Amino acid sequence: MVTCVSQRAGKGALRVTRRSFIEKISAITAGGILAANSRSALAAAQSVPHIAFPTAPRDRIAVASYPFRAYINAPHNRDRNSQQPGMDLTQFPAEVVAKFGVHNIEPLAQHFSSTDSAYLDKFREALQKENVHVVNIPTHVEPSFYDVDAAARKKAIDITKKWIDVAVEVGSPSVRPHINSAANSKPDVERAAEALREVADYGSRKNIVVTLENDDPVSEDAFFIVKVIDAVHHPYLRALPDFANSALNGDPDFNYRAVREMFQRAYCISHVKDGEVDDHGKQFTIDLQKTFDIAKAAHYRGYFSMEYDAPGDPYAPTKKLIEQTLHYLS
C-alpha cells in the first residue's frame, strides 16, 4: 500500500492512504455535483412564478391608490386636488388599514414621491409598521412597446426594468407597464411581443411578474393584449383583467368576452370595479357577480384590487366594493 504524507502542521502529520484520498476526492466531487444540481433545481423553480397567495377572502383584497389620486402628494401626480386633504404615499398603508381593514395595497408608480433608496426605505418601514403588503405596481410608460423606432421601444423596456427593481425593493410580486400608443404605428403584436419578451425575461430573474391590463381601448384592447401574451408565451408575462374597462365601447357582451379571455391568462392581480365612466361622463355598469363567476371558472387564485373609477369621493364606493367582493368570494 502506498501512503501519501502531508506536510507537517504543528505536532504530527496527517496520513492519507490512496483509498481514503480517493474517497475524499469522490466526496468533494459529489458535493460539487449536488451543489450544481441544487443550483439547477433553483433555476428550474424560478422558471415559473412562485407566489404564495392567501386563501381567505379578505386577505385576497387590495386597495389601489389610483382612486385616491386627488389626495396623494407626489411630484408626478397630475390629479392632485389641492381642495382635498393630502397625504404622502408612505401614509397610504395606514389609511387603508384604518378606513377599510385591508392589508394589501396597489400603489401607482406616479404616486411615489421618489424611487431613491431613502424614500423606498421609508415606504417599506410604513408597510411593515401596518403589516401591509404591496401586491402590484401599475406604471405609465410613455414610449410605446410597439413603436417603429427601436430606440423608443428600448426606452419602454428600460423604464419597466426600473420599476421591476423598485418592486423587488418594496416586496411587490408584480408590475403593470402601460402599453402606450405610438404615433407612427397601429398596435403591432410582433414588435410589442419582442420588447415584452425581454421585460419578462428580466422579471423572471427577479421573480417579478409583468402584467398587462385591458386599459386603453386602442393600445391595450383586451384581445390585442391576449395576442401579445400568447406570442411571448412566457410564464412571467400575464394578464391583468380589469372588470369594466372593456365595457367602454357600450357592448356588455364584448366586455365579458374580453374579461373571460384575460382571466384565462391572469395569475396574480385583477382590478375590481362595478363600472367605468368615459371621457364624456357617461357611466357604463357591469354585473359584478357574473364577472366574479368568470374569475372562478378560470381558477384564478390571485388578488382582487379595488379600483373604483368615477368622479366624487372614493371612500364610500371603495368600502362598498370590498363588501361586495367579500360576498362573492365567500
Render pLDDT for 124-167 as a digit per residue (tens, 0 to 9).
999 999 999 999 999 999 999 999 999 999 999 999 999 999 99
Measured at the alpha carbon of residue 180, what is the angle toward residues 78 and 229, in degrees to the nearest 5? 130
Split at pLDDT 50, 70, 90, the class of 281 is confident
Averaged confidence pLDDT in the chain:
89
Supply the pLDDT for residue 35: 42
**308: its cell numbers:** 373604483
Could you tell me whether strands 237-240 and 209-213 are parallel, antiparallel, or unpaired per DSSP bridges?
parallel
Q: CB count, 10 Å around CB of 259?
A: 28
Closest CA to 265 of 246, 240, 301, 288: 240
Percent of the chain with pLDDT over 90: 83
Instruction: Reply yes or no on whether the pLDDT at 22 is more than 60.
Output: no
Supply the pLDDT for residue 58: 98
For residue range 165-198, list pLDDT tens digits in order: 999 999 999 999 999 999 999 999 999 999 999 9
For residue range 62-102, list pLDDT tens digits in order: 999 999 999 999 999 999 999 999 999 999 999 999 999 99
Supply the pLDDT for residue 4: 38
Supply the pLDDT for residue 115: 98
Supply the pLDDT for residue 79: 96
Q: The whole model's pTM is what? A: 0.86
Split at pLDDT 50, 70, 90, the class of 260 is very high
Of 36-50, 64-78, 226-240, where does mean pLDDT reach its minimum? 36-50
Unique residue bearing C-alpha cell 393600445 = 219
